[in-house]
Amino acid sequence: MTSLLEQANSEANREKFLNRIAKAAGRPRHTVKAFEPLNDLPDQVLADQSPEELLATAKTNSEAVAAKFYTCAKDDLASFLNQYLADIQAETLLLPGFKDDKWANYGLSDWVKKPEVKQTTVWSTDPGDRRKNAEAADQADLAIGFADYLIANTGTITVVTSPEQGRAFNYLPEHYLALIPKSGLVRSTRQAVEKYEAMMADGLQTSAINFISGPSNSGDIEMELVVGVHGPVDCAYVVVADL
Amino acid sequence: MGISTSDKPFLERVAEAKQDNFMQAAVAKAQDAQFVKRTKARREMGHWNEWRDLAEQIRQHALKYLPDYLEEFAGNVEKQGGHVFFAETEKEARDFITELVVKKQAHKVVKSKSMVTNEIEIDKALTALPNVDVLESDLAEFILQEDNWDEPTHIVFPTLHKNRDQIQAEFKKLGYEGDNEPAHEARFVRGYLRDYFMQADFGITGCNFAIADKGMINLDTNEGNADITMAMPKTQVVVMGMERIVPSMKEAEVLDNMLARSAVGQKLTTYCTFSGPKKQGETDGPDDFWVVIVDNGRFRALGTEFEPILQCIRCGACLNVCPIYRHIGGKGYGSIYPGPVGKVLSPILGGYDNFEELPYACSLCAACTETCPVKIPLHELIRKHRIVEMDQKHMDHSMTNLILKTIGIGTGSPALFGTAMTVAHTGAAPFSRMKEPGDVDGMYEGGKINHLPKAAPKLVHGWSDIRDIPMPVEKKNNFRHWYKNHKPVDPAPIVKEKEAQEDD
């Protein structure tokens, strides 16, 4: 028996399949034309709102998806985070493995060296530490990570997977807090997607772009909404001004 | 079995569903709740019909150039070190994944919810392997699995037919000691599945949309289980129906918004992820990324009047408005695709012989067509299936043709029609009974035909078993008589036209 696995990525497997469906459809191959949308509705979403209005909309929509929404000045951020750790009674904290300049940008150079929590783990950028990172994320009470954008229309934050902030970082900890620069406030999912497309064209390498709207939830048991099924049981967005 | 979920005859399944009062109440509650949420979410979006036009255009464009976009997608997956296998049949897809699990020596397979993986019955194949465990990680799918792989009843809410007590009883077998509160039950599953996730070495996901120009897949979930399935295991297999392709992230983004609003009344699902193979330097995610693109009969719709069914984005809104689904629930259909979408899709994927009755489980009310976010003319396609079954495949071997021809002759001749009107009441008398409990007042004073011999033709039973057919009235009370005796004596008064009034 020929191994099916050997057929993966083979021209023969691909061509046979694609020729068959082209024939069934009665349309020749290699005729694709660029998609020209018949309207520009995605570009019009919240287009009439000022930055202040957008921030208010973002707050309303974030709270509607059960996310905690905060705005904080850069200078106050360190004390805000310590207070947050105390409020949720976190004992273990997970931080991304970014170099100091990223933290300095948020005024957290000193804080990151000694957050007020019993135990802090930093996401390892050593590719051999897959298991170690997963366990740290699994055991963390809180992960504090960086997000790129906050989407006003849907109450969504966006995070790219990177060597410093991997997938498990965003999904396994009990609580999750994302720091978003105020400049990252966008109107719509369309606007965020366009920004990522531009970044990827400029060389951004990532295996996953995550759009996260509040804490994990499910309505699978009698359609009663339950929060925190697999991912974080709560989710906080902190919009940081004056970067 | 393929997409079939039952080998019982259709009418038997319907009879069983009619007995299931909890299911009927749950479906009615879900439909009503979703109506409110869905309508609110769509209204809030604004210009809903124009959004639908755009979504339809995106789906039709992708289908028109399907081979080209699949080729582009496959090329981009390969460029990133991934592997793509095109499977013409469910068996090929199933065998391929089974072979991969064996080759990778995987022991702990974790899955996130996916209709197409149900189509190819991958769970059964993998659980049959020695030393391989398979776990569904979506809460609802997990509940079904623990109940001996019970059939789903809805494509978005698979466990609609189960209540919290049944779930509590199931979980007790796994060590749950709590009460029947959904929050506590879900919390238990979180811990149970987290332990499994930490050991999982092989992940299987579906795909809401495949992004042709990036070689990435787009997944929408509320629980986050798909994301953990993509994070933890070193190997990931994506199983996608071949039609689930879009040109770029922009088109996916439009559909993600339409999907969430239509499926659950949310603006976006909690997690909406664009994902591909692990990139250099990243410490988690799939080292090994495989995509299995499945045809499994979809090609039969291509280039035909049924092609629009491939526009479907599996939101389930058509189920949530269907009056038939409201009464018979998902299990009544005997297909993993129930409701209006199932009535169109099941005969295409599973064959007319297996799903002959489904196109008739429809009142052609068109509520499904009206709600569909990608504008699939569902009720028209259901009607077209009937035409195929009758006129092309000649699947009806009953006396229907003969009866209808006879009725045609009878109603075409005034003399025969007059005679029929005269004898109808007396002729139908042996087959009728008077009013029954539950009958609507004022409709059946003359009785209804509900007492037909078993040997009566299928067409006749169709009119009496499922519908309420009133007794024909006596000749002296029928419409023609009534009309003759009630002609107006005076002509209707002419209404004087109002003089034009000036606007204030």
Helix or strand or coil: residue A114? coil
What digits encode the pLDDT tens for the residues B397-420? Answer: 888 888 889 999 999 999 999 898
Question: Would you say B299 and B359 are in contact if contact means Cβ atoms under 8 Å apart?
Answer: no
Residues of chain B contacting A216 with CB distance shorter than 8 Å: 222-224, 270-271
Which residues contact residue B41 at a Cβ distance below 8 angstroms, ignoring those fewer than 6 apart? Answer: B260, B261, B265, B266, B267
A213 and B71 within 8 Å at the Cβ level: the answer is: no
What digits encode the pLDDT tens for the residues B156-215? Answer: 999 988 999 999 999 999 999 999 999 999 999 999 999 999 999 999 999 999 999 999
- Min Cα distance B442 → chain A (Å) is 38
Question: Would you say B218 and B252 are in contact if contact means Cβ atoms under 8 Å apart?
Answer: yes
B279 and A33 within 8 Å at the Cβ level: the answer is: no
Residues of chain A contacting B248 with CB distance shorter than 8 Å: 35, 197
Establish if A118 belongs to a structural domain.
yes
CATH number of the domain encompassing residue A156 = 3.40.50.10420
B275 and A207 within 8 Å at the Cβ level: the answer is: yes
Query: How high is the pLDDT of residue A183?
Result: 96
Residue B97's closest CA among B80, B114, B78?
B114
Domain residues for A58? 42-241
Establish if A18 belongs to a structural domain.
no
Question: How would you label A41-55 residue by residue, b for 16+ Cβ within 10 Å and e otherwise?
Answer: bbeebbeebeeeebb
- Split into its structural domains, chain A has a count of 1
Q: Does A208 touch chain B (CB under 8 A)?
A: yes
Q: What is the mean pLDDT of each run of 10 residues along chain A (243 residues)?
A: 88 98 98 98 97 97 98 97 98 96 96 97 96 98 98 98 98 97 98 98 98 94 88 96 82
CA A80/CA A83 separation, integer angstroms: 5
Query: How high is the pLDDT of residue B504?
Result: 41
In the structure, what pLDDT confidence band is assigned to residue B1 with cuts at 50, 70 and 90?
Answer: low
Question: Would you say B134 and B109 are in contact if contact means Cβ atoms under 8 Å apart?
Answer: yes
CA A91/CA B362 separation, integer angstroms: 58
Q: Does B53 touch chain A (CB under 8 A)?
A: yes
What digits encode the pLDDT tens for the residues B49-107? Answer: 999 999 999 999 999 999 999 999 999 999 999 999 999 999 999 999 999 999 999 99
Tokens of residue A233, six digits: 């049981």
Q: Which fold has domain B10-300?
A: Rossmann fold (3.40.50)
Average pLDDT of every residue of chain B:
92
CA B144/CA B158 separation, integer angstroms: 8
- Which residue in B284, B304, B375 has the most chain A C-beta atoms within 10 A of its own C-beta, making it the best mutation to test that interface? B284
Which of A27, A39, A133 is the closest to B54 by Cβ? A39
DSSP β-bridge partners for residue A238: A70, A179
Domain definitions of chain B by residue range: 10-300, 400-485
Give Cα separations from A5 to B84, B95, B99, B292 (angstroms): 10, 9, 7, 11
CA B434/CA B449 separation, integer angstroms: 9
- Min Cα distance A75 → chain B (Å) is 31
CA A26/CA A215 separation, integer angstroms: 47
Q: How many C-beta atoms lie closer than 10 Å to residue B200's C-beta? A: 24
Query: How high is the pLDDT of residue B457?
Result: 82
| HEC readout, B177-209 | CCCCCHHHHHHHHHHHHHHHHHHCCEEEECCCE
Which of A21, A153, A209 is the closest to B67 by Cβ? A21
Which chain A residue lies closest to B213 (C-alpha atoms)? A197
Q: Does A183 touch chain B (CB under 8 A)?
A: no
